Amino acid sequence: MSSKLFRLEATYQNYAWGKIGSKSAVAQYAAHSNKSVKIDESKPYAELWMGTHSNGPSRQAETGELLKDMIKKDPVNMLGEKIVEKFQNKEELPFLFKVLSIEKVLSIQAHPDKALGKMLHEQDPKNYPDNNHKPEMAVAVTDFEGFCGFKPLNEIADELKRLPEFKAIVGEDVAQEFINGIKPDAIEGSEDDKSNKKLLQKVFNKVMTASDEFIAKESEKLVDRAQQSPKDFNKSDLPELIIRLNKQFPQDVGLFCGCLLLNHCRLKPGEAIFLRAKDPHAYISGDIIECMAASDNVVRAGFTPKFKDVKNLVEMLTYKYGSVEDQKMQQESFERSSGNGESVLYNPPIEEFAVLETTFKQSTGVRHFKPFEGPSILITTKGNGFISTEGVKLKAEPGFVFFIAPNTQVDLESMDQDFTTYRAFVEA
């Protein structure tokens, strides 16, 4: 058995919003990679966790040993000396890698930055289980939709003018103050931009602190408007979205704080978005590869039966606003690989992770990767092939997950043009 390259068994999660049974990519991957997993066609399979997080730890596939324990025994060789020094952790990966299969909308949420994560964990460890931040990135594997960030302010102002139900929730005074006071063309960081964000916070606060009874009453009218007068809305996809999400979470505040305040984002396979700490978002449908800092801290707003921390949420958000395009990530070429196939890099502006996608759409063959200075985890999502390093060659099939130690050169060999892998990694 190699300590440089080996198979992992990942942990899957049966959250209620996941796709049911074998319709779920998570279920397919889990069952294909581990023959002892039998798919229950009545259960949702939502997330596949790849990493060292205690809520869903990965194990060495042959021995069953926890990856975390393996790292703890030999942190320098498993993480790399620079990574240990940088993150001051000799037991865990600084990132958590996931596959998500989404049937129903997840809770509208945001994640704290490091300072707030530490404070929330100290105050309420039950609801905030660690002290880390959780910036995250999502790469669409199938067609995906979600909420990401606040809409441009002029769109929100237009909705307040068009939709009496929205204006009723916000209140006449705050609605007019917002409509009359915003400067849609403000330069980021300017005094006008700061004023815009304060006005947006007022609107969001009014929505989030409205009584359940008031939300139920006005959401019923909003859904009726979506059914009877779809042209009243400023975006053609909004009526259907409101009707659909109301079926999943009837008369929920998310119809206002999500559908009317946040961007409705659609991604094609290969497209990606990056969500900074303190940015509101929610996933609605599709299959994605997700990578994040190693945390499970969530501050929730709507579309959830779970704990909602309205006070902290309203206070913590950045209130950054803009178009969907502002949230999308650009693919970068990756110079440290060569041969057949193509590798593209998703490189968010944070230290904990980047993700590399490798495909062989044009030609099968071998793609070579120079050593990375930190650890990485790789998953095959489609097709068949092999992953190898000196003295080791392992099958790579859908759902197969691998750990690659620092300073290890590897080759990916495709057996067909569908062969696709995603590799999360960290470097100092």
Active site members: 300
Structure letter (DSSP) for residue 261: T
281 is in an annotated binding site: yes
Q: How far apart are CA 263 and CA 149, in angstroms?
A: 6
264 is in an annotated binding site: no
109 is in an annotated binding site: yes
Displacement of CA 248 from its chain's centroid (Å):
20
Q: Which amino acid is at 235?
A: K
3-state SS, residue 45:
strand
Number of H helices, E strands in the chain: 14, 25
Q: Please name the residue that has the structure tokens 């049937």.
A: 103
> Which ranges constitute the DSSP H helices of 249-301?
254-257
Query: What is the CB neighbour count within 10 angstroms for residue 272?
Result: 24
Q: Please name the residue that has the structure tokens 């396979």.
A: 269
| CA-closest candidate to residue 39, choices 421, 399, 403, 379 | 399
32 is in an annotated binding site: no
Q: Check: CB of residue 100 under 8 Å from CB of residue 46.
A: yes
Q: At what angle do helices 212-228 and 238-248 cross, to 10 degrees?
A: 130
> Element (H or E) spanning 378, and its range?
strand 376-382
The binding site for Zn(2+) comprises: 109, 111, 136, 281
